[in-house]
Amino acid sequence: MSKPLAGRHIAVLLGGLSPEREVSLVSGAACAAALERLGATVSRVDAGRDLAQVLTALKPGLAFNALHGAWGEDGCVQGVLETLGLPYTHSGVLASALAMDKAKAKAVLAAAGVVVPGGGLHNRFDAARDHVMAPPYVVKPNAQGSSVGVFLVFEGANSPPQELAQDSWTYGEEVMIEPYIPGKELAVAVMGDKAVSVTDIVPSSGFYDYEAKYGEGGSKHVVPASIPPHIFDRALRQAELAHAALGCQGLTRSDFRYDDLKQNFVLLEVNTQPGMTPTSLAPEQAAHVGVSFDELVLWIVEDAYGRGGSGGAQSSGVPL
Q: Which of 253, 257, 284, 295 is catalytic?
A: 253
Q: For this structure, is 280 an active site residue?
A: no
Q: Which of these is catalytic: 96, 146, 147, 197?
A: 146
Residue among 15, 20, 21, 147 flagged as catalytic:
20
DSSP state of 2: -
20 is catalytic: yes
Catalytically annotated residue among 269, 284, 302, 303? 269
Would you call 171 a catalytic residue per the annotation? no
What 8-state DSSP symbol labels residue 229?
H
- Neighbour tally for 69: CB within 10 Å: 23
Which residues 6+ apart lie within 8 Å of 295 measured at CB? 286, 316, 318
Catalytic residue among 137, 171, 208, 214: 214
Whether 271 is catalytic is yes
Q: How many CB atoms lie within 10 A of CB 262?
A: 10
Q: Is 50 a catalytic residue?
A: no
- 33/39 Cα distance (integer angstroms): 10
> What is the distance between the alpha carbons of residues 98 and 247, in angstroms, rounded to a whole number?
9
Give Cα 121 distance to the centre of its chain.
21
Would you call 219 a catalytic residue per the annotation?
no
158 is known as an active-site residue: no
- HSE (side-chain half, CA atoms, 13 Å) at 63: 31
Q: What are the residues whose beta carbons fall under 8 Å from the beta carbon of 210, sequence distance 6 or more?
A: 146, 147, 148
Q: Which of 46, 73, 74, 255 is catalytic?
A: 255
Q: Is 264 a catalytic residue?
A: no
Choosing from 275, 280, 303, 305, which is the catalytic residue? Answer: 275
Catalytic residue among 271, 280, 284, 308: 271
* Residues recognised as catalytic: 20, 146, 214, 253, 255, 269, 271, 275
